[in-house]
Amino acid sequence: MKGYERNDAELVRLLKTAAGQIEGVVRMIDEKKYCIDISNQIMATQAILAKVNKEVLNAHLRTCVVDSVKAGDAGDKLEELSKVLDKIVR
């Protein structure tokens, strides 16, 4: 995809960090750790996933959506993006 502006190495690094945090949360639950500590780790993981999602969606806007607008056929891409936004703001 021409003009692709996503830093995949950074996204993979962040996702691996989130995966490690999830493994840590599982251990915390198994070890009956304090609920608030578990919740804090879950929120930290969610923040990482939200950051990755934001970067993926920004790359989509800068590439796929822009290309569709330039081609005069943005309707499908905008509808697709609208559905994603609906899921995000639930």
Report pLDDT for 6.
Answer: 79
3-state SS string for 6-21: CCHHHHHHHHHHHHHH
Angle between helices 35-60 and 75-88 (to 10 degrees): 170
In a structure prediction context, what are the per-residue pLDDT tens digits for the chain, which is 90 residues long? 444 567 999 999 999 999 999 999 999 999 999 999 999 999 999 999 999 999 999 999 999 899 999 999 889 999 999 999 999 998
pTM assigned to the model: 0.84
80: burial class by Cβ within 10 Å (0-12, 13-18, 19+)? middle
Report pLDDT for 2.
Answer: 47
Report pLDDT for 23.
Answer: 98
Q: Judge contact between 18 and 49, C-beta under 8 A.
A: yes
